[in-house]
């Protein structure tokens, strides 16, 4: 269905360009609307919704009041592989969310050092420590075999989700 849509878009753009040669090319927008001024922002509500520090500050605060959730060098000048890193990160975040279901207190931070992939997570003490260790061993092994590089998990546990404020 996606390919037919693309073809239709191309057809439409060709048609529109032929119809109006001097005009700017306006193409059909086929994805869902993702407004950049609504991304990663939790809107203020009645005051009963608890948010963590990470959730409370908006994306324009990154670099000022927030750090980065994913740290790698492929965004530097002359380095490549940024897109692959992003896809890997998305997979890793979903994997962590699913494997440690309900235990994540905050977003997972992913750091790359050399070929080592370090996943830093803060967990709620929902499971017994030995169960946590089991899941850590499982995740490390599975992800190392999947991405063909050593994967380490650095985990910290808190009793409750750390609330920054209520919105």
Partner 1 sequence: MADRCILRRYISVIGCDQSVVRSDLSHHRRVHCLSEIIAQHNMKTFLTLTSFSPIQKLFSLSQESGRNAAKYFINTYPKYFQKDYAQPHIPCLMPETLEAQIEEASEAALIERIRMRKVKAAVDLYDQLLQAGTSVSLDVTNQLLDLICFCGDHDPTQENVPEQRNEETVGWSHHKTMFKIGRLFLFFPFRENNNAGRIFALLSEPNTHSYSALIRGMVKYGAYSKAFSTYTDLLNNRLKADVHTFNALIIAAPEVKEKYNEKWELIVDLLKQMAEQKVKPNLLTLNAVLKALRRCGTLGKSQAFPVISEMKALSIDPSLASYNHLLAIFYKTGAPIQGQTDILQEVMNEVSGKSFTAQDPDDGICISLQRVHELLGVGENWRLLGNDFQQSIYYARFFSLLCMMENIDVMLKWYRDLVPSVYYPSSNVMRDLLQALDTDNRLDLIPQIWKDIKQLGHANRQNLVEELLTLMAREKHNQEVQESFAECALDIKKIYDTGDRGKVLLSWTAGSLIDLISVLLAAHRRQDAWEMLKLFKTHNRVPSEELLNKFLTCVKEAGEVNQAVELVQISAGFCLPETPKLIQRVQQEFELTEQQR
| Residue ranges that bind partner 1, judged by CB under 8 A | 72-74, 79, 81, 85, 112-115, 129-131, 133-142, 144-150
Q: How far apart are CA 1 and CA 47, in angstroms?
A: 43
Smallest separation (angstroms) from partner 1 to the CB of 132: 8
**Closest Cα to residue 109, out of 139, 161, 153?**
153
Smallest separation (angstroms) from partner 1 to the CB of 94: 15
Six-digit token pair at 26? 């306006």
Judged by beta carbon, residue 53 or residue 84, the one nearer partner 1 is: 84
Judged by beta carbon, residue 45 or residue 137, the one nearer partner 1 is: 137
Q: Is 139 helix (H, G, I), strand (E, B) or coil?
A: helix
Judged by beta carbon, residue 57 or residue 132, the one nearer partner 1 is: 132
Q: How far apart are CA 123 and CA 131, in angstroms?
A: 12
Smallest separation (angstroms) from partner 1 to the CB of 113: 5
Smallest separation (angstroms) from partner 1 to the CB of 131: 7
Contact 104, 135 (CB under 8 A): no
């Amino acid at each position: 269905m996606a390919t037919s849509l693309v073809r239709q878009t191309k057809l439409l753009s060709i048609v529109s360009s032929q119809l109006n040669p001097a005009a700017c090319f306006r193409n059909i927008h086929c994805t869902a609307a993702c407004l950049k001024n609504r991304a990663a922002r939790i809107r203020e509500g009645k005051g009963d919704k608890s948010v963590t520090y990470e959730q409370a500050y908006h994306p324009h605060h990154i670099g000022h009041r927030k750090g980065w959730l994913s740290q790698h060098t492929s965004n530097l000048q002359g380095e490549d592989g940024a897109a692959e890193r992003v896809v890997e990160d998305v997979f890793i975040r979903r994997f962590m969310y699913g494997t440690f279901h309900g235990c994540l207190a905050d977003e997972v931070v992913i750091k790359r050092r050399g070929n080592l992939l370090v996943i830093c997570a803060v967990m709620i003490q929902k499971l017994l420590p030995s169960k946590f260790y089991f899941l850590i061993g499982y995740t490390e092994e599975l992800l190392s075999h999947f991405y063909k590089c050593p994967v380490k998990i650095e985990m910290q546990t808190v009793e409750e989700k750390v609330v920054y404020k209520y919105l």
